[in-house]
């Protein structure tokens, strides 16, 4: 290694050591079988702060062999964990929740530095994420069976639920805390063990969650976290899908990757839960309260700088109120969105340069094809290489990328429609169907449109629909299964029919 390389590495290690002293939950190793380990090949990769591009630290760059070891650990731990009582699992999850609550501010700081979210927004995610562990600590004791009426006097029939086995959990970067707890809380409550593969952009929060799970007394091997760079992500995902020791996969991410994982799981007939991409319509009808609609639009669109799978993506505005709504939204965007790193700022950067280039390509495509730019329209270069201006576009046509693709950035594309039928036709003209929103003052229309939208979740006069108690998931190419609510635990259990005869 060259002297410059050694010096750079020493600087990184020094910076990481300093940060560790200030943040007790910061870890630079993976967590397997109750131990903090490096990769078998000794490789690591940098974790970058999206706000300024600085290196936060390094974590192991693991590969297939490391993944197999984590799977073996989870498999060995499965039978002992599955044999614990529901109350025992409930108590351990409650202890984990209590520790998460005690450390919520440090967890929020971790989310902020690796995901780029403003601290207040990160704290909101931690509150949301913690609530899943609380919820599933309670649901653990409500995994009920059934007694069926037997057709024969000599028989009794009953159904019980049992844990499926080892669950592989592959999580995204946009909610590095909540997407893990929403999956792991349900898996552990059901009696499953898990191997968690967090996104390469945001592994530090996952490792902090593992530390607190360990501190809560969750046995070794029950929860494992493996980390890897983008180069190793695909082969690791493949072995998580194809290993005969893994019985279920839960993945949150893009539809394209979800399809690949779905195919790879087919060979072993795995239980699959997929929460994939969306293209959420946000419809404003002429009967809507426009001020409420603008509040809903701001909440739905700009959380995490537009980087959520349920973000409003296509704004469909009825013709007679189009100009009025656009003007009100423009004012709200100009006055309420504050970019930067100060305490009053509420809009952060995009996760990486690739994402910024993708968002800018969508905007420039629209401009080139005739879209009108009312606000923004390009990178906020003065703030850094990952910052993008909140952008408002009108005169959107069907051949534009913003009409068809999930933007995943702070860009509002407003489309005009003339009737309820036309609005619904545009809203449903997409292969995905995760979330949809609409504002209307007509209760009959609310029922009609709510049922007609081809999505798994609908916000009616509401822009924020996520909660622990809600069944989260989509239809069409947006996924399979549900997370959260009492349905979330069903993804990790098998129904067994038991027939007692000769009675």
Looking at the structure, tell me whether residues 101 and 205 fall in a common domain. yes
- Measured from the Cβ of residue 358, the count of other Cβ atoms closer than 10 Å reads 16
| Known catalytic membership, residue 275 | yes
Report the distance separating Cα 183 and Cα 468, nearest Å.
Answer: 12
Q: Is residue 153 part of a domain?
A: no
**What whole-number distance in Å separates Cα of residue 191 and Cα of residue 91?**
13
CA-CA distance, 67 to 169, in Å (whole number)?
Answer: 12
174, 210: one domain: yes
Domain annotation covers residue 109: yes
Predicted local distance difference test score (pLDDT) of residue 501: 97
Q: Is residue 328 part of a domain?
A: yes
From 114, 139, 200, 275, the catalytic residue: 275
In this structure, the answer to whether residues 302 and 439 fall within a common structural domain is yes
Strands (E) in 388-488, as ranges, are 391-394, 411-417, 432-433, 435-439, 457-460, 475-476, 479-480
> Burial code of 309-342, b = ≥16 C-beta within 10 A, e = fewer?
bbbbbbbbbbeebbeebbebbbebbeeebebbee
Residues in a beta bridge with 86: none
List the 372-375 sheet strands across, edge first: 372-375, 391-394, 411-417, 312-318, 280-284, 435-439, 457-460
- With respect to residue 99, please indicate whether it lies within any of the assigned structural domains: yes
Q: In this structure, are 371 and 357 located in the same domain?
A: yes
Q: How far from 320 is each of 249, 287, 324, 399, CA to CA, in Å? A: 47, 10, 9, 24
Please indicate, yes or no, whether residues 230 and 98 belong to a single structural domain of this protein.
yes
Cα 79-80-82 angle, rounded to 5 deg: 60
Per-residue model confidence (pLDDT) at position 160: 98
What is the number of structural domains in the chain?
2
Q: Which domain holds residue 167?
A: 27-143+163-276+480-493
- 235 shares a domain with 191: yes
Helix (H, G, I), strand (E, B) or coil at 468: coil
Can you give the CATH number for the domain in which 184 is found?
Answer: 3.40.605.10
In a domain, 19, yes or no: no
Please, which residues bridge with residue 48 across strands? 55
Give the pLDDT confidence score for residue 20 in this predicted structure: 54
Residue 501, domain member (yes or no): no
Residues 179 and 96 in one domain: yes
Considering the domain architecture, whether residues 234 and 328 belong to the same structural domain is answered as: no
Within 13 Å and on the Cβ side, how many CA atoms surround 30? Answer: 30
The verdict on 358 and 432 lying in the same domain is yes
Same domain, 199 and 178: yes
Q: What is the pLDDT of residue 19?
A: 57
Radius of gyration of the chain (CA): 24
Residue 503 lies in a domain: no
Identify the pLDDT of residue 23.
81
Whole-number Å distance between alpha carbons of 321 and 326: 9
Are 165 and 247 within 8 A, CB to CB?
yes
The helix (H) or strand (E) run that includes residue 195 is strand 193-197
In sequence order, the β-bridge partners of residue 273 are 250
Same domain membership, residue 99 and residue 222: yes
Which pLDDT belongs to residue 171? 98
CATH of the domain at 367: 3.40.309.10
- Measuring CA to CA, which residue among 240, 237, 177, 251 is closest to residue 207? 177
Contact (CB, 8 A) for 322 and 416: yes
Per-residue tokens: 461: 């006069």
Long-range contacts of 256-265 (CB under 8 A, 24+ apart): 258/479, 259/477, 261/170, 261/237, 262/480, 264/237, 264/238, 265/241
Distance CA 258, CA 299 (A): 27
Residue carrying the six token digits 């129904």: 495
Residues 107 and 250 in one domain: yes
Q: pLDDT 10s digit of each residue in the chain, 503 long?
A: 333 333 444 444 444 554 555 689 999 999 999 999 999 999 999 999 999 999 999 999 999 999 999 999 999 999 999 999 999 999 999 999 999 999 999 999 999 999 999 999 999 999 999 999 999 999 999 999 999 999 999 999 999 999 999 999 999 999 999 999 999 999 999 999 999 999 999 999 999 999 999 999 999 999 999 999 999 999 999 999 999 999 999 999 999 999 999 999 999 999 999 999 999 999 999 999 999 999 999 999 999 999 999 999 999 999 999 999 999 999 999 999 999 988 889 999 999 999 999 999 999 999 999 999 999 999 999 999 999 999 999 999 999 999 999 999 999 999 999 999 999 999 999 999 999 999 999 999 999 999 999 999 999 999 999 999 999 999 999 999 999 999 999 999 999 999 999 99
Contacts of 18 (CB under 8 A, 6+ apart): none
The residues that bridge with 30 in the sheet, in sequence order, are 37
**Per the domain annotation, does 350 fall within a domain?**
yes
Q: What is the DSSP string of 279-295?
A: -EEEEE-TTS-HHHHHH
Q: How far apart are alpha carbons 26 and 211 in whole angstroms?
A: 9
């Amino acid at each position: 290694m060259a002297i410059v390389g050694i010096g750079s590495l020493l600087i990184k290690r020094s910076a990481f050591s300093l940060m560790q002293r200030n943040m007790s939950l910061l870890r630079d190793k993976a967590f397997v079988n109750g131990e903090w380990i490096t990769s078998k090949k000794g490789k690591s990769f940098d974790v970058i702060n999206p706000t300024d591009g600085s290196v936060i630290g390094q974590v192991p760059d693991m590969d297939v062999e490391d993944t197999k070891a984590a799977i073996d650990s989870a498999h060995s731990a499965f039978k002992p964990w599955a044999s614990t009582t529901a109350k025992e699992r409930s108590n351990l999850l409650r202890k984990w929740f209590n520790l998460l609550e005690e450390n919520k501010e440090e967890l929020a700081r971790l989310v902020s530095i690796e995901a780029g979210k403003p601290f207040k927004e990160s704290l909101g995610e931690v509150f949301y994420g913690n609530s899943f562990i609380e919820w599933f600590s309670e649901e653990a004791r409500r995994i009920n069976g059934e007694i069926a009426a037997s057709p024969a006097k000599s028989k009794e029939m009953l159904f019980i639920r049992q844990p499926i086995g080892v669950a592989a959990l592959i999580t995204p970067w946009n909610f590095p805390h909540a997407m893990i707890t929403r999956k792991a809380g349900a898996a552990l409550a059901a009696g499953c063990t898990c191997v968690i593969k967090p996104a390469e952009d945001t592994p530090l929060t996952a490792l902090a969650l593992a530390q607190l799970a360990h501190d809560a007394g969750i046995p070794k091997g029950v929860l494992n976290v493996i980390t890897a760079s983008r180069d190793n992500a695909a082969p690791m995902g493949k072995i998580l899908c194809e290993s005969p020791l893994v019985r279920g996969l839960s993945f949150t991410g893009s539809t394209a990757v979800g399809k690949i994982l779905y195919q790879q799981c087919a060979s072993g007939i795995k239980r699959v839960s997929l929460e994939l991409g969306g293209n959420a319509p946000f419809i404003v009808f002429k009967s809507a309260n426009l001020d409420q609609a603008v509040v809903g639009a701001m909440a739905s669109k700009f959380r995490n700088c537009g980087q959520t799978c349920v973000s409003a993506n296509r704004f469909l505005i009825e013709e007679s109120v189009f100009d009025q709504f656009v003007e009100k939204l423009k004012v709200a965007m100009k006055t309420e969105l504050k970019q930067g790193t100060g305490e009053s700022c509420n809009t952060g950067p995009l996760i990486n340069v690739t994402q910024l280039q993708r968002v800018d390509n969508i905007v420039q495509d629209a401009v080139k094809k005739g879209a009108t730019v009312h606000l923004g329209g390009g990178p906020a270069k003065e703030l850094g290489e990952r910052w993008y201006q909140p952008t408002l576009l009108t005169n959107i046509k069907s051949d534009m990328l913003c009409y068809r693709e999930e933007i995943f950035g702070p860009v509002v594309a407003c489309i005009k429609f003339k009737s309820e039928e036309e609005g619904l036709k545009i809203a449903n003209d997409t292969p995905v169907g995760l979330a949809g929103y609409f504002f209307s003052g007509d209760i009959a229309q609310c029922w009609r449109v709510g049922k007609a939208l081809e999505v798994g979740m609908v916000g009616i006069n509401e822009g924020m629909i996520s909660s622990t108690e809600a069944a989260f998931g989509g239809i069409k190419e947006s996924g399979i299964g549900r997370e959260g609510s009492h349905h979330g635990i069903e993804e990790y259990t098998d129904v067994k029919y038991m027939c007692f005869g000769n009675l």
